[in-house]
Amino acid sequence: MFIFSPLCFKTQGRGALFGISPSYAQDFVMPDMPDTSAMAMTGTGQIDIVIDPLRVRLVDGRVIQFSTLEIPDLSANDGGPLAENALEALRPLLEKKSVSIYQTKKKDKGRTNRMGHHMAHLIVRAPDKSETLWVQGYMIANGLARVLPSRDNTDLFEAMLKAETKARTDKTGLWSDEIYQVLSPQTAVAALYSWGIIEGKIHSSALVRNMLYLNFGDNWRDDFTIAVPSSVRRAMMKEGLNPQILANKTVRVRGWVQAYNGPYIELNHPAWLEILP
């Protein structure tokens, strides 16, 4: 059950100060509006209530889930301080507001989840119908959530990643907590059985039974490893990137960290892997 303290907004500079808890007090960040030309605007609606930090219910009964987002301490039945902060920030921002609904252009992929909720990006509409605030961008820029692209929802990923990188660099919101910092291949074990972001230099690669393994140490039996399935490898090749020649490249990868000959992430989408300078 969520337990909330009153939320107070104090105008300051560009935006507002979250008066929720001293550890997460911050200046409000207004994200840039995204280029939605690659998406389909599938309708508009008015938000009735914010159900939780990742879902809202419209007055017509539809439930919209914010696609491509993840909040570390939000579970199916409960939420910790991060989830509470995000919910308290979203309620006055979204409830009773009109929104534009943007979804993937492919009607048969990524528009609904198994619960029947609509997966979408939401942009708040002013009374003159102009679009004023991108919800996902707001949450990422203010450190209220992390970017979590799925196989069928990667729209606006680059814009979200840019906002997340800035929030992480500035230690905004959740990024001010050491537990959510980017890990190295040597410390990746700290993220076992959870979502993690790992950054380091690839040592070598090996193709075994059509699975490509990117190893980050001399001993593949216990070092950090990224597994790249053939479908993801083909998608990367179409984008002009051959993952088999990434040895000595520094990368940042995000995903669910499993235990398989050391910490291990299986790449579900090319967007999960960033090639760094």
Helix H, strand E, coil C: the string for 32-77 is: CCCCCCCCEEEEEEEEEEEEECCEEEECCCCEEEECCEECCCECCC
Taking the C-alpha atoms of residue 7 and residue 124, their distance in angstroms, rounded to an integer, is 21
Global pTM? Answer: 0.81
> Is 249:260 a contact under the CB 8 Å cutoff?
no
What pLDDT shows up at residue 77?
Answer: 75
Residue 28: per-residue pLDDT: 76
At 133-166, the pLDDT tens digits run 999 999 999 999 999 877 788 889 889 999 999 9
Give SS3 for 118: strand
Neighbouring residues of 179: CB distance < 8 A, sequence distance ≥ 6: none
**Under-50 pLDDT residues of the chain:** 1-26
Looking at the DSSP assignment, which residues form a beta bridge with residue 45?
Answer: 99
Cα separation, 155 vs 90, whole angstroms: 22
pLDDT in tens, 101-110: 999 998 888 8
pLDDT at 78: 78
**How far is residue 175's CA from residue 34's CA, in Å, rounded to a whole number?**
23
CA distance 108 to 201: 38
Q: Greatest CA separation found in the chain?
A: 61
The residues, any chain, with a CB within 8 Å of residue 276's CB and separated by 6 or more, are 199, 249, 250, 251, 252
**What are the angstrom distances between the C-alpha of 108 and each of 63, 70, 160, 227?**
18, 23, 24, 28
> For residues 277 and 105, what is the distance between their CA atoms, to the nearest angstrom?
32
**Which of 91, 83, 93 shows the shortest CA–CA distance to 2?**
83
Pure H helices in the chain? 81-94, 135-141, 157-169, 230-238
Q: How far apart are CA 91 and CA 50, in angstroms?
A: 6
Please list the residues that pair with 82 across neighbouring strands.
Answer: none
Name residue 120's beta-bridge partners. Answer: 66
68: left (phi over 0), alpha (psi -120 to 50) or beta: left
Residues 6 or more apart whose Cβ sits within 8 Å of residue 60: 45
| Domains, the chain, ordered by start | 9-176 (2.40.50.90), 182-275 (2.40.50.140)
Identity of residue 195: W
Report the alpha-carbon distance of residue 208 to residue 191 in Å, rounded. Answer: 25
Q: What is the pLDDT of residue 2?
A: 32
DSSP letter at 192 equals T
The residue to which tokens 């090996």 are assigned? 206
DSSP code at position 185: T
Q: And the tokens for 69?
A: 């987002």
Query: For residues 179 and 159, what is the distance between their CA atoms, to the nearest angstrom?
Result: 24
